[in-house]
Amino acid sequence: MPGPDERGDETRGEAAERRDQAPEAQRGRLGRLFAALVNSEGEDAEPEGDAGSPPGETSSLDLEALSRSLVGSPDPMGALRGVVADVRARSEAPADGEPGRAAPSGFELYLAMRLDEAGLLERDVAMPTVSVVRPRTSDLFYLRVMEESLPWLAKVKVLRVETALNCALLVGRALDDPNAASLEELVRCEQRVCRSIVSQAPRAAARLGSEARGEWAVRSALSAGIEALQLPHRLTARFRTNVRTGVAAIEVDLVPPRAWASSAYVDGLGIVAATSEMRRRAASDYNLRLAVLLAAYALAVAPQLSQVWVAGVVDGPAGHACYYSARLDRDLVEGIDPDAPVDPWAVMAAAGATIEERDRTLRAVRQGFTLDEERFCPARRYDAVELSDRELSGAQAAALGCDRADGLGIDEAARRRALLGELCRQVGDSTAQSVRALLAHAGDDEPRDVRSAALRCVRALIDGTLEDDPLAVTEEFVDGGELARGTDRARELLARQDFAGAERAALEALESLEREGALRDEGDVAWRSFATYADRALYNRLVAPAHERCLLAPAPCLEALLVASAAALAQDRPDDALERARRAARLAPMSVQASLHLAQCLEAADDARGACEELCRALSVAHDQESVGLAYLMMSQLQWRDGHVLAAQACYQRACRNLPAPALVAGIAVVALLGQVGEATGAATEDAAESALRGAQIPLSPTPETGEALLEATRAAVDAELFAPARDLLRSLCSVFRDDVLFGVLRSIEAEPDR
């Protein structure tokens, strides 16, 4: 597999390279070298020339202690360079050298050798700034790059250093006493680890404890497996599932040959330098095993799946390339004994995989599928929930707080938006043609908002205030009207600090709706506005009274109310501002923006207690980081002004955790606040901060109730294949829990397809 970066990257001298690449006479030796890297024969043979442990006392490598020091180090790569230098110095010291300075163990020599081969000490490719973490899911080493972009060679260098650490970790777990093993034994063990990765599939599936059934469970299981598999090389994969039809698709990033180890153990020869061809063959063999492993794991953990499509790809400096593409069926995969030697080439041949190989080396091929094609990602998943009459099952209805899919709706213009394609085809360059097209949607059998929009556009075309351009007509049909234009005008006037003009424009924009009683709650009818599907689901679960019939207000309504309130407040009329702010908060009970403005109006009306109560209400249902941070920031200001310094400090710490620095500075007059509550970095401990918040009866946001409702609603939306709400809910869920497995599930949800 000649990845796009392979242009003679050998670490050996030119003479050795020419010797290994000599013609026929040397090919037998090359075959033995490759067999040592990828074959399972001879694993039990004793290494020749094994000198055993060095004479005399040797030191030992405590990999867990090294891990702790790297995780806590501001310069972990510098610390590793020190380890390599120390091992090298002690290994080269004479036997009768400095008293008490023990020779390094084979385990130390092994790690130092692999780090040296990874280019850790070389300066030709700059090592980016990294931090070392040990994710709880895999407990492997992970080098987190702190820079936004990374050249290809620097990326390979990071991967090689990470692989060196993880190989040492896995070899150390595989041997009873790695410090007592010789260097040759350790390298042989590493090669066995690479050849046996398929055997993890059934064990990894069993660790989940139960079979995965349904879209949510299957996606969660696949994401958990990708995070938890114990592999020497970093595993990066993307996937899609269609549990209804029993198929999954996985695209896995392959290990480029350049990232492979530069030396190997060969029976009869000991540890030798690996040629470029050896590394390509070894990488090809390992990369094929990845396909078998991922398919075997997916089919083992998800009994509803019958096929797994796998593509192995490399995204390098030359672009995207695919090196194999295969469909592995359950019958084929279940016939593989994972604990026996597995020939991945034979498995892929039996699967009819698209592969081009030369001398057991993968070559680029045309990828046989894409992750987002219809068989894996049905377009129906993104049908507008607002237009759906689909009944939800009992469990899904309880989790989402509604009996039908349209109970998750947030887009008041969905009906009009759904007609866009038809209107674009029907309207023309003449007024008469456009009027005829619009009148077709103005009948009494049309929904009220569609009929009203059609008639509005017809009047505007006839009186000449609307151009005959199809784009202008369709924009006016969906988002036009006096409300939208008046709100835009009010916003512009407010920005120019024409407060009287802004107030007048906002109230005029709302007047037509108020005349029709469109925003008035009566009986079981409630008019509401939502920014996200997550807000709507949480409103259904946590806020809405039983048997409420929720109608969606036009999107500009909330902004018009807030502008009218802000303009009144700026003109020193707090009572008018407060009345409109209350209406805005009632219209959008999940909007932190509306809550913050209401709290500001309450404070201006000398009702600090009411302001705190409103912020507490907002914090009890807030879920995204920005909303939580802004609410805590304002609460910190209120607590400080009331003399509750500990509560103010705790709120400010919470705000700092959730908001970037620019938002903190823009939120309130933080300079004065900092002088009282102190910098968050030197503030109270987390336990003390939580205790202060509880003592002040301020919610710890996001609350457990919000998190639980989000999780249940997300699971239900994914299982119901309502993917517009599901993506939104997953983003909020990831914001609350910051979990790698959840982020993997989020990435598995395809984007909305082009219609």
pLDDT recorded at residue 43: 42
Q: How confident is the model over 721-740, as a mean pLDDT?
A: 96
| Alpha-carbon torsion angle 434, 440, 442, 447, nearest 10 | -120
Residue 448 has pLDDT above 90, yes or no: no
Give 294-341 pLDDT, tens digit per residue.
Answer: 999 999 999 999 999 999 999 888 889 999 999 999 999 999 998 899
Query: What average pLDDT is seen over the chain?
Result: 89
CA–CA gap between residue 69 and residue 133 (Å, rounded): 11
Q: How confident is the model over 216-240, as a mean pLDDT?
A: 97
CB 722 within 8 A of CB 386: no
* Neighbouring C-beta atoms of residue 157, cutoff 10 Å: 25
Left, alpha or beta for 230 (phi > 0: left; psi -120 to 50: alpha)? beta
CB 41 within 8 A of CB 35: yes
The residue among 279, 268, 263, 277 whose CA lies nearest residue 20 is: 277
Q: Which helix (H) or strand (E) holds 276?
A: helix 276-301
Residue 428 has pLDDT above 90, yes or no: no
Residue 415 has pLDDT above 90, yes or no: yes
Give 56-110 pLDDT, tens digit per residue.
Answer: 588 999 999 999 999 999 999 999 999 999 999 998 876 555 655 789 999 999 9
pLDDT recorded at residue 461: 92
The residue among 30, 110, 42 whose CA lies nearest residue 281 is: 30
Residue 472 has pLDDT above 50, yes or no: yes
pLDDT recorded at residue 501: 97
Helices (H), 446-588: 448-463, 470-479, 482-495, 499-515, 533-538, 556-570, 574-587
- Please measure the distance between the N-terminal and C-terminal CA atoms of the chain and give it in whole angstroms: 38
CA–CA gap between residue 688 and residue 650 (Å, rounded): 8
Local structure of residue 522 (DSSP, 8 states) = B
Residue 51 has pLDDT above 50, yes or no: no
Q: Band the pLDDT of 27: cuts 50, 70, 90.
A: very low
CA–CA gap between residue 138 and residue 535 (Å, rounded): 33
Q: Which helix (H) or strand (E) holds 271?
A: strand 270-273
Q: Band the pLDDT of 662: cuts 50, 70, 90.
A: low
pLDDT recorded at residue 181: 96
CA–CA gap between residue 609 and residue 615 (Å, rounded): 10
pLDDT recorded at residue 96: 58
CB 634 within 8 A of CB 615: yes
Residue 476 has pLDDT above 50, yes or no: yes
Residue 49 has pLDDT above 50, yes or no: no
Give 585-640 pLDDT, tens digit per residue.
Answer: 999 999 999 999 999 999 999 999 999 999 999 999 999 999 999 999 999 999 99
Q: How confident is the model over 488-504, as a mean pLDDT?
A: 97
Contacts of 47 (CB under 8 A, 6+ apart): 182, 184, 185, 188, 265, 267, 270
C-alpha distances out from residue 553 to 378, 411, 677, Å: 31, 9, 41
> How many C-alpha atoms does 66 have within 13 Å on its Cβ side?
21
pLDDT, greater one: 52 or 516: 516
pLDDT recorded at residue 46: 40
Report percent pLDDT > 90 for the chain. Answer: 74
**Domain extents for the chain?**
53-181, 197-363, 415-479
Residue 290 has pLDDT above 80, yes or no: yes
pLDDT recorded at residue 682: 52
